[in-house]
Structure 1
Amino acid sequence: MKVIEIDRSNSEEFKKFQQSLLAAQAVEYKKARKKQLESIIDKIVEGRRKYDDFRDAEEILNEELEKSATITDSNMLWPTFLTLQTVLPFKLKTLNYKDIYLNYTTELKCAVFSDLWNRGYYITEGVRFGGDFLVYFGDPICYHAVFIVKCVTDSESFSSSELVAHGRLGTSVRKRFVLASVVDGTVCYVTVSWIDA
């Protein structure tokens, strides 16, 4: 995945370009909104007739279109209608996503997150449970987390009391505590379980 970064050193050119995108998006959105309204205009006209509005359908359609098809700087999805023919008045630089994300995390966490995501799990931040990630079988709105994942390097070591604490924590919150690491380029997992004897 690559990210495009815009060089905004010439701010006047950039503002003109942004205004041209706003105008283009307004035109395109109005066309799309008109199609939506045309598909339900009969119901709208029927509803208006109940309130003694006997104007023709075209006039009502145009009124509804003006009310609901306004694009401004604050609600524009920038740049939705950028096409290959658009001439950019500024330079674009291509950045690798790792250049950005590694400012906030580590390669190990990126590798573990990517592996879990590719296996179909849902993932959220797990610091409040002593890990790096909380892992779910489905959407976190509908499911409870099943794993607390902590990313560890091969140079890290744990005392036996720390491992016991991780196992107890996982058991007390009804989750499995998992240690994740990368070994020979492959993400590996070890589950720490607490068993009452």
Structure 2
Amino acid sequence: MEEEAGSDQSGARPASSKIQIHLLHGNAFIWNVEDAREIREKHGLVGKLVGALVRKPRQNTRLGLPLELLPEEARLLVEIGAATLVCNCLNQRDSVDPGDLPVGNTSLSAAEHEEQSSKAEAEAFQQFLQNSYEEQRQLALEEKRRMLESLSENINKGRSKRKRRHGDQEEEPMESSSHAPIMDLQKLEETFHFPEEAMMVQIPTARTSIDNIKEVDLCKASPDWPYTGEKKHELRFRVFRDLWKKGYYLTSGSKFGGDFLVYPGDPMRFHAHYIAICFPQDEEIALSDIITAGRLGTNVKKTVLLCSFNKEGLVTYTSLQWSGLQ
């Protein structure tokens, strides 16, 4: 099967609103939930969630952010103008340029500056929690006051009944009894208790501000992006891009012995139809490898695609299907 590459599925977006793909030792992560949603819904890229859920951290059945992207997914997003690669320059302690540090802190080492920055962020978060607690306490207090006001008549009746049941012969003046709920409302500000454990806490899915980040050049190899110039990555990327342009969804195919699993639609709705295995066109493939791939695809009910690209840059596909002796 041989076909020319088609057009991009989505156009470039303004540079000011590009998705930030955070790199760490060659791995690409998305921390913002809106970015993760856009990547899947608009660009047809899947990735995989690798973070633990806050309320269920001791399980791996359901995971949360960050979203880890394949190197091919990250590169594709950059090439179509939808994202930029960034990294925290303070992660590379030995290669920090003093000019990258904020003015006034050039005398500090990278570790000291990172420690100060983390301490400031922790203090700011604690202040945010305190302000949130005070706001929620005030809202709970107002709700309590409205409830008491709406139940004031029932409260008066209940107190009168309780006094009669305990044998109080002397009845309080009606005026004094009617003012009892008002006295309770006046003391409510002093007596009301709102426990901190009842406070709702917002759990952020991305840092609101990240300092000391720098953009990573896709064309230059670095510890955070070591794929530049790798023949295997170039082959995988060309195959990935070609299948993506044809409208397929792709995920890692390592669990089935391939490079990619190819889906006709979103993996939440479809099973994979193909196992894509990338081979350089001028490389000989051992017969045992072909037999193994063909039998594997048959056992899991998928078609194996041997993928490569020719001198003209066109991606070619050869499908394998195991059949018994007739």
> TM-score band (shorter)?
0.5 to 0.7
Correspondences of 1:30-45 after superposition (within 5 Å): none
Relative to structure 1, is the Cα distance of residues 18 and 109 closer, same or farther in structure 2, using a 3 angstrom cutoff?
same
Aligned 8 A contact 1:4 1:94 in 2? yes
Q: Check if 1:194 corresponds to 2:322.
A: yes
Aligned-pair CA distance for 1:174: 0.3
Provide the C-alpha distance between the structure 1 equivalents of 2:315 and 2:143, rounded to a whole number of angstroms.
Answer: 58
State the partner residue of 1:5.
88
Aligned 8 A contact 1:5 1:95 in 2? no
Provide the C-alpha distance between the structure 2 equivalents of 1:176 and 1:30, rounded to a whole number of angstroms.
Answer: 58
State the partner residue of 1:51.
none
The letter for the 2-side match of 1:109 is R
Q: What TM-score results when the alignment is normalised by the length of structure 2? A: 0.40
Instruction: Considering Cα pairs closer than 8 Å and 6+ residues apart, tell me whether 1 or 2 has the greater RCO.
Output: 2
Correspondences of 1:145-160 after superposition (within 5 Å): 145-159=272-286
Aligned 8 A contact 2:253 2:261 in 1? yes
Give a deviation string over 1:49-101, Cα, whole Å, max 9, x none: xxxxx967xx56x645874438xxxx87663234xxxxx5xx54432357325
Relative to structure 1, is the Cα distance of residues 159 and 122 closer, same or farther in structure 2, using a 3 angstrom cutoff?
closer
Quick one: which of 216, 235, 260 aligns to 1:95?
216
Relative to structure 1, is the Cα distance of residues 80 and 22 closer, same or farther in structure 2, using a 3 angstrom cutoff?
farther
State the partner residue of 2:63.
none
Quick one: which of 10, 19, 38 aligns to 2:119?
19
Correspondences of 1:126-165 after superposition (within 5 Å): 126=254, 128-138=255-265, 140=267, 143-159=270-286, 162-165=289-292
Aligned 8 A contact 2:250 2:260 in 1? no
Provide the C-alpha distance between the structure 2 equivalents of 1:136 and 1:15, rounded to a whole number of angstroms.
Answer: 45
Provide the C-alpha distance between the structure 2 equivalents of 1:2 and 1:135, rounded to a whole number of angstroms.
Answer: 25
Q: RMSD of the TM alignment (CA)?
A: 4.3
Aligned 8 A contact 1:21 1:79 in 2? no
Q: What TM-score results when the alignment is normalised by the length of structure 1? A: 0.60
Aligned 8 A contact 2:249 2:267 in 1? no
Provide the C-alpha distance between the structure 2 equivalents of 1:117 and 1:24, rounded to a whole number of angstroms.
Answer: 43
Give a deviation string over 1:29-59, Cα, whole Å, max 9, x none: 7778968x969x969x98xxxxxxx967xx5
Aligned 8 A contact 1:135 1:148 in 2? yes
Matched residue of 1:2: which SS? strand
Matched residue of 1:96: which SS? coil
Relative to structure 1, is the Cα distance of residues 195 and 78 closer, same or farther in structure 2, using a 3 angstrom cutoff?
closer
Aligned-pair CA distance for 1:6: 1.6
Matched residue of 1:189: which SS? strand
Unaligned runs of 5+ in 1: 47-53, 83-87
The letter for the 2-side match of 1:175 is K
Quick one: which of 247, 252, 272 aligns to 1:124?
252
Aligned-pair CA distance for 1:157: 1.7
Aligned-pair CA distance for 1:152: 0.7
Larger Rg: 2
Aligned 8 A contact 2:240 2:250 in 1? no
Unaligned runs of 5+ in 2: 1-83, 94-108, 148-184
Aligned-pair CA distance for 1:178: 0.5
Provide the C-alpha distance between the structure 2 equivalents of 1:30 and 1:142, rounded to a whole number of angstroms.
Answer: 44
The letter for the 2-side match of 1:129 is F
Provide the C-alpha distance between the structure 1 equivalents of 2:321 and 2:200, rounded to a whole number of angstroms.
Answer: 57
Aligned length: 172
Relative to structure 1, is the Cα distance of residues 5 and 65 closer, same or farther in structure 2, using a 3 angstrom cutoff?
same
Aligned-pair CA distance for 1:176: 0.5
